């Protein structure tokens, strides 16, 4: 079990740095009751150039946009948020960490936008080399939420009920993770990660319609372009994956995670021979601020 905080942990909440064990929230808050809040997941790394938060601007712009889309008033600037994040890391003596900013709302049992909004930023240690175990995934019976029912491009707390249901189902069936489809039966994404697969020298990923368009997904697409690896956004069905050469999930937390099989059907290539493995190595070099030009041959 990950230790998210201990007696020494300091977090930022509404203008103050306080001990996590002493921070208080209101039990009548709208976020606690209705899941109406937004958050981010960000990584920092011990790089060759010191401690670096990876793409902090992009993450905080998404946090601001999530607030906008939800109608949650939010006044912090991106610069302030970045500064606060580095302060949280420093106060907790963290280098390789996962950072969790959460915007949550005060007491309001009406189904209306809030006036009382809080921000907390916390962080916990996160191993530099994430679990490289390959995943055996299944097709979830849960769909991703209909983008006309809720704004899926916002990182909204309540949307994660869907992710928890899918993961719980996958584990009960003996798989590591689930892959969720959209309302038309096309592959969408994992419970907390975007999805790519390789076929005949091209990497495919679903269009940004029924998914959270991840920051890692965008980095992967940029890496493919940089390395001249053909990459395409397209709709595809789960059946197409039974022919896949390789496949992977990607997210800030777990970076690039190899998929071994879909519903028990193994992908064709060994991970080390796949395009995903090259992308994984390149991604790691980018987050660690290392030059990655040597992989371009």
The tokens for 205 are: 């990923």
Q: Where are the beta strands (DSSP E) in the chain?
A: 10-13, 16-19, 38-39, 42-47, 50-53, 97-105, 117-125, 135-143, 177-181, 187-189, 194-199, 202-205, 231-233, 246-251, 255-262, 265-266
Compare residues 10 and 279 and give the one whose CB is closer to ligand PMP: 279
155 part of the active site: yes
CB of 83 to ligand PMP, least distance (A): 21
Contacts of 239 (CB under 8 A, 6+ apart): none
Compare residues 10 and 262 and give the one whose CB is closer to ligand PMP: 262
CB of 132 to ligand PMP, least distance (A): 18
Which residue, among 214, 269, 292, has the nearest Cα to 47 in the 3D structure? 292
From 52, 55, 135, 155, active-site residue: 155
CB of 195 to ligand PMP, least distance (A): 9
The tokens for 174 are: 């003996």
Distance CA 257, CA 274 (A): 12
CB of 194 to ligand PMP, least distance (A): 5
Which residue, among 269, 264, 273, 247, has the nearest Cα to 193 in the 3D structure? 247
CB of 203 to ligand PMP, least distance (A): 16
Three-state DSSP at 265 gives strand
CB of 178 to ligand PMP, least distance (A): 11
Residues 193/127, Cβ–Cβ less than 8 Å = no
Compare residues 30 and 252 and give the one whose CB is closer to ligand PMP: 252
Compare residues 114 and 192 and give the one whose CB is closer to ligand PMP: 192
Compare residues 29 and 214 and give the one whose CB is closer to ligand PMP: 214
Distance CA 96, CA 100 (A): 13
* Residues binding ligand PMP (CB under 6 A): 41, 163, 189, 192-194, 212, 214-217, 251-252
Residue by residue, DSSP assigns 185-197 as S-EEE-SSSEEEE
The tokens for 63 are: 């946090």
Compare residues 108 and 216 and give the one whose CB is closer to ligand PMP: 216
CA angle 239, 245, 246 (to 5 degrees): 95
Q: Which positions are catalytic? A: 155
């Amino acid at each position: 079990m990950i230790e998210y905080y201990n007696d020494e942990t300091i977090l930022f909440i509404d203008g103050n740095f306080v001990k996590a064990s002493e921070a208080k929230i209101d039990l009548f808050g709208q976020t606690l009751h209705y899941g109406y809040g937004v958050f981010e997941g960000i990584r920092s790394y011990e790089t060759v150039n010191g401690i670096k938060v990876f793409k902090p601007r992009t993450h905080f712009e998404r946090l601001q946009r999530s607030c906008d889309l939800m109608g949650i008033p939010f006044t912090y600037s991106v610069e302030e948020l970045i500064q606060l994040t580095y302060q949280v890391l420093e106060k907790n003596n963290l280098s390789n960490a996962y950072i969790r900013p959460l915007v949550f709302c005060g007491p309001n049992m009406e189904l209306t936008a809030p006036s009382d909004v809080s921000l907390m930023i916390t962080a916990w240690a996160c191993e530099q080399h994430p679990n490289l175990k390959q995943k055996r995934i299944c097709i979830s019976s849960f769909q991703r939420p209909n983008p006309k029912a809720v704004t899926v491009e916002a990182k909204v707390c309540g949307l994660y009920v869907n992710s928890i249901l899918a993961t719980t189902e996958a584990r009960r069936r003996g798989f590591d993770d689930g892959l969720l489809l959209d309302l038309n039966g096309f592959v969408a994404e994992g419970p907390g990660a975007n999805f790519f697969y390789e076929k005949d020298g091209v990497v495919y990923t679903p269009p940004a319609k029924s998914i959270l368009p991840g920051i890692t997904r965008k980095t992967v697409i940029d890496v493919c372009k940089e390395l001249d690896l053909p990459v395409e956004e397209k709709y595809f069905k789960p059946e197409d994956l039974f022919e896949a050469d390789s496949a992977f999930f990607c997210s800030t937390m777990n970076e690039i995670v190899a998929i071994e099989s879909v519903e028990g059907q193994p992908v064709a290539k060994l991970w080390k021979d796949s395009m995903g493995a090259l992308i994984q190595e390149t991604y790691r070099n980018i987050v660690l601020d290392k030059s990655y030009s040597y992989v371009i041959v």
